C-alpha cells in the first residue's frame, strides 16, 4: 500500500517527511518533488532498492545522487577539479548535475556507472528537508520507459502506483526542463546535456567549458578549449 502526503500544509509535510524518511531507511522507494520534475528515489547505498529503480526504468543507467549540501560532494566524489567546485558553488542548490569520479571505497551499486557518480543538490525545500533526514538519495525521474517525466505528483503516481511506498505531493514543479548535466571529471568541464542552466551562465563561471560539437586541443579532459 502506498501513502500520499500533501506537503502544502505544515502538518502534512511534517508527517510526510517522517514517513518518507522511514521508508528510505527500510529500503523502500519514495517519490520526491524537485524544482523541475518529480523523482523516484531511495537510499543510494540500498542495493535492492536501486535495483528496483532499474526495474521500473527498464535499464541499468545509474541514477543521479541527490545531496543536501555542497560539502557532501567530497564524500561521494574524488579528484573534483576547481572548475567543478566553482560550478557547484554557483548553481547549487539548483538544476545542475555534475558527473564526477566516484570515491572508490563506497559500498554501493548504482548500475553501469564505470567509476562515476552524477551528483546534484536540488532547489526544492521538501527535497532538501528529506535529504537532511536521509543523506544521499539515488533519484531519477519518476516515469516508466517511454512516458514523459512527471511534473506533478499525480502524474508520478499514475505511472508508478504501488511500486512506491511514499509520495510527497508539493504541487506542480516550480520550473520546467531537466537539469543541465556537466562532465566534471577533467580540469576542463564538458556539457553533456543542455538543460535549465543555460550554457552562457555556465561559462560565466567556467569560461573554458566545452559544449557538444566543440573540441579541446587534445583528447585529455584537462586540456584547454580550442577557440
- For the stretch 154-168, pLDDT in tens is 999 999 999 999 999
Contact yes or no for 83/163 (Cβ under 8 A): no
Q: Where is average pLDDT lowest: 62-76, 92-106, 165-179?
A: 165-179
User: Is the pTM of the predicted complex or chain greater than 0.75?
Assistant: yes
- Assigned architecture for domain 3-205: Alpha-Beta Complex (3.90)
Q: Is the pLDDT of residue 20 over 60?
A: yes
What letter would DSSP give residue 172?
S
- 116 CA to centre of own chain: 13
Domain ranges for the chain: 3-205
Per-residue pLDDT tens over the stretch 174-227: 876 789 999 999 999 999 999 999 999 999 999 999 999 987 543 343 322 222
Distance CA 88, CA 11 (A): 33
Distance CA 118, CA 160 (A): 23
Amino acid at each position: 500500500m502506498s501513502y500520499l502526503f500533501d506537503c502544502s500544509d505544515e502538518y502534512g509535510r511534517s508527517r510526510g517527511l517522517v514517513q518518507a524518511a522511514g521508508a528510505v531507511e527500510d529500503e523502500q522507494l519514495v517519490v520526491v518533488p524537485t524544482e523541475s520534475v518529480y523523482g523516484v528515489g531511495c537510499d543510494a547505498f540500498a542495493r535492492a532498492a536501486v535495483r528496483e529503480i532499474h526495474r521500473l526504468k527498464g535499464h541499468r543507467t545509474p541514477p543521479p545522487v541527490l545531496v543536501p549540501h555542497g560539502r557532501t560532494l567530497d564524500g561521494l566524489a574524488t579528484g573534483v577539479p576547481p572548475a567543478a567546485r566553482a560550478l557547484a558553488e554557483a548553481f547549487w542548490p539548483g538544476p545542475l548535475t555534475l558527473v564526477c569520479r566516484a570515491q572508490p571505497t563506497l559500498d554501493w551499486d548504482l548500475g553501469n556507472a564505470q567509476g562515476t557518480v552524477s551528483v546534484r543538490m536540488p532547489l526544492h525545500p521538501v527535497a532538501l528537508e528529506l535529504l537532511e533526514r536521509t543523506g544521499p538519495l539515488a533519484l531519477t525521474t519518476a516515469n516508466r520507459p517511454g512516458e514523459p517525466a512527471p511534473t506533478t505528483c499525480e502524474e508520478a503516481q499514475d505511472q508508478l502506483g504501488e511500486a512506491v511506498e511514499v509520495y510527497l505531493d508539493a504541487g506542480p514543479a516550480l520550473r520546467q526542463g531537466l537539469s543541465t548535466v556537466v562532465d566534471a571529471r577533467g580540469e576542463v568541464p564538458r556539457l553533456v546535456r543542455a538543460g535549465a542552466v543555460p550554457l552562457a551562465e555556465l561559462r560565466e563561471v567556467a569560461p573554458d567549458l566545452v559544449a557538444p560539437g566543440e573540441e579541446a586541443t587534445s583528447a585529455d579532459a584537462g586540456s584547454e578549449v580550442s577557440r
